[in-house]
Amino acid sequence: MAYLLSLPALLLFAGVVVIPLAMTVILTFHDWGQYKGIEPVFILKNWREVFGDPYYGEMFGRTFRIALIVTVLAALFGAPEAYILNRMKSPWRGIFLLVVLGPLLISVVARTLGWALLFGGNSGLVNKVLLSLGVISGAIPFMFTETGMVVALVHVLMPYMVLSVWAALQRLDPQIENAAVALGAGPLTVLRRIVLPQAMPGILSGGVIVFALAASAFATPAIIGGRRLKVASTLVYDEFLNTLNWPLGAVVAVLLLAALAMIVIGANRLVERRYAQVFG
Amino acid sequence: MAFLALDNLTKSFGSHIAVDRLTLGVEKGEFVSLLGPSGCGKTTTLQMIAGFVEPSAGAITLEGRNLRAVKPAKRGLGIVFQSYALFPHMTVAENVSFGLEMQGIAAAERARRVGETLDLVGLGEFAGRFPRQLSGGQQQRVALARALVIRPQILLLDEPLSNLDAKLREEMQIELRQIQRTVGTTTILVTHDQGEAMALSDRIVVMNHGRAEQIGPPHEAYERPATAFVAGFLGKTNLVNGASVRPERISFAASGLAGTVKTRIFQGNHWLYQVDTADGLVTVIRQNTGEAMPEEGAAVHLAWGAS
Ligand SMILES: Nc1ncnc2c1ncn2[C@@H]1O[C@H](COP(=O)(O)OP(=O)(O)OP(=O)(O)O)[C@@H](O)[C@H]1O
Ligand SMILES: [Mg+2]
């Protein structure tokens, strides 16, 4: 009987996830021509093109490289941020939590445009100031660069890392650091040997979320990378809405999804196997 | 001067005085309990000795040197926290070994001492387990071993048994006392359980509202309480003719204070009576010797020796 109760949810899942996904997979095998449009046949042309043309390899490489760098940076900045936040006293904690979560409250487009205005070309505010002060001789490139995408993505996705690590830190016994200190540990040893290992599950699960969101992000790479510097999601968008080569776009979309699913499931397995015994 | 001396130790949080001019000397090897109701400042006192709470005033000296000038990490005290605060990502052996590692002791020596201490607390075969895989009593012993292995000058215990069920608590009390006797470490125990304090300690400090109301051996505090609070806190007591008399000191006799039995409760090894007298309700505890006892409603006379 209990299974019946989950039926509506299952039907909804099938309706909005499984069926469109299956249709996308089928689409990858259809033919497409500039003038004839989509032809419902079964061919491997699109798959061959994606695997044969180094352009796509480069594009996927860029997508996952950006996602990886963003994840590492988010962990590097987010974990200490969560630690500090966790140690703050009541009124400050609330205020700083709002600051940390701020990026989530502002629309992606507005936020990314803000970055673009600050750094965009010679007319960007920061570049203008630095140029006029003579600190730099040429504008720091931001628009249409991987660096720009990484900076903007780290900014957006950091809250997920902070929240995830914070959740892990909140399970920490408040006396545990004192226990280590009483045994003679200095502040750095306490951080490295006691706090970090216990924050690790939070950092890893936050990392999985950030990686998945960075690899599939659309708005930020679309605004900063434009049509010059494409990542998987902006390429799919272009194929679907500009070139109208749906089958090719479908191949890229399916590959992105498969790669992400594999990475996320693999990472989860790893985390579970490593920590089941310790944290249960 | 005492081994550990607290001199007018005071801690206030804003306008609230948590510990009020506490003066206490603890001798080497002694087992002293801080006993008192919740919020009376026991933990705060312990945390000041450990160095995690900065005193507002007063002095702490260990073997004559000023302990307040020593950082918590350098005090070399063994602490068992109420929550145990074990390191969940380390095995039992790693937990116990941590303090030795911090002292820079070589691996072989470390392993030897960890094994020795785990055997002492009866956890020899659990060395490879993680804290989560242990029962409450076993976790408590790991915490004890972790504190003892560094051979601390003083062992500080903050309600180490309060998370255990009654039976296990009794077992652990006996074990704790035995271990303390074996190792001979000066120990300060915080508890709100008067039975526990009296069973374990050489001396008890009865605290109320941050002040020490009485400091002395358990039987002395029990028999000659300095204040009404101490008398009430250490056990049931009757106020008859302005004197306080323990219920087990009162017996049924042919003559004495007249009264009628209001209630009678059988508690296995003893009977608990409430007797209505001209001086008000008097509680009487009599050993169960198998003999017939006065029933409810019976007219009785109460007698007690001057104590
Ligand atoms: N950090 C703090 N800030 C403000 N007040 C505090 C703080 N720590 C303790 N207090 C107050 O000081 C008093 C003594 O606290 P303490 O923790 O020492 O009590 P305790 O005797 O250990 O009680 P319990 O048996 O409940 O553990 C309490 O009234 C408590 O509210
Ligand atoms: Mg306490």
The answer to whether B48 faces chain A, any CB pair under 8 Å, is: no
Predicted ipTM of the assembly: 0.82
* A27-56 residue pLDDT tens: 888 888 888 888 888 888 889 988 999 999
Any domain includes A3: no
* B211-269 residue pLDDT tens: 999 999 999 998 888 988 998 888 888 888 777 788 888 889 888 888 899 989 998 88
Q: Whose CA is nearest to atom 28 of ligand 1?
A: B39
- Vertex A83 angle, CA A80 and A89, to 5°: 135
C-alpha to C-alpha distance for A158 and A154, rounded to whole angstroms:
6
User: Which residue among A178, A179, A183 places its CB closest to the CB of B150?
Assistant: A183
Domain B239-303 in the same topology as domain B4-229: no
pLDDT at residue B307 in the model = 45
Largest pairwise CA distance in chain A:
77
Kindly report the nearest CA distance between residue A197 and chain B, in angstroms. Answer: 7
* B19-46 residue pLDDT tens: 999 999 999 999 999 999 999 999 999 9
Q: Whose CA is nearest to atom 3 of ligand 1?
A: B13
Ligand 1 pocket list (CB less than 6 A)? B 13, 16, 18, 36, 38-44, 192
C-alpha to C-alpha distance for B40 and B206, rounded to whole angstroms:
10
**Residue A194 confidence (pLDDT) above 60:** yes
Q: Provide the mean pLDDT of chain A.
A: 87
C-alpha to C-alpha distance for B283 and B264, rounded to whole angstroms:
10
- Per-chain residues with Cβ under 5 A from ion ligand 2: B 43
Q: What's the Cα-to-Cα distance from B33 to each of A23, A54, B18, B158, B197, rounded to whole Å?
A: 74, 76, 18, 10, 6
Residues of the domain holding A217: 17-104+142-279
Burial of residue B304, with CB atoms counted within 10 A of its CB: 0-12 exposed, 13-18 middle, 19 or more buried? buried
Structural domain boundaries of chain B? 4-229, 239-303
Provide the token pair at B172.
Answer: 């652990």
Q: Judge contact between B17 and B58, C-beta under 8 A.
A: no
Q: What's the Cα-to-Cα distance from A227 to each of A219, B36, B162, B196, rounded to whole Å?
A: 12, 73, 66, 76
CATH number of the domain bearing residue A247: 1.10.3720.10
Any domain includes A114: no
pLDDT at residue A279 in the model = 63
Q: Which ligand is nearest to the CA of B40?
A: 1
Any domain includes A12: no
Domain spanning B4-229: which CATH class is it, in words?
Answer: alpha beta
Of the listed ranges A181-185, A237-241, A272-276, B13-17, the least confidently predicted one is A272-276
Of the listed ranges A196-205, A235-244, B161-170, the least confidently predicted one is B161-170
Residue among B10, B12, B16 whose CB has most ligand 1 atoms within 8 A, to mutate: B16
Provide the token pair at A109.
Answer: 């487009």
Q: Name every chain A residue with its beta carbon within 8 A of the beta carbon of B132.
A: 277-280
B264 backbone dihedrals φ, ψ, rounded to 5°: -140, 125
C-alpha to C-alpha distance for B263 and B272, rounded to whole angstroms:
8
Considering the domain B239-303 in this protein, what is its CATH number? 2.40.50.140
Mutation target for A interface from B81, B117, B154: give the one with most A CBs within 10 A.
Answer: B81
Sign of the CA dihedral with A209 first, then A212, A215, and A217 last: negative
pLDDT at residue A213 in the model = 94
Q: pLDDT-derived band of residue A277, with 50, 70 and 90 as boundaries? A: low
* B160-213 residue pLDDT tens: 888 778 888 888 888 888 888 888 999 999 998 888 998 899 999 999 999 999
pTM of the predicted protein model: 0.80
User: Which residue among B72, B85, B146 places its CB closest to the CB of A173?
Assistant: B85
Number of separate domains in chain A: 1
Please tell me the total number of residues recorded for chain A in this structure.
280
* A96-127 residue pLDDT tens: 888 888 888 888 888 888 888 887 766 778 77
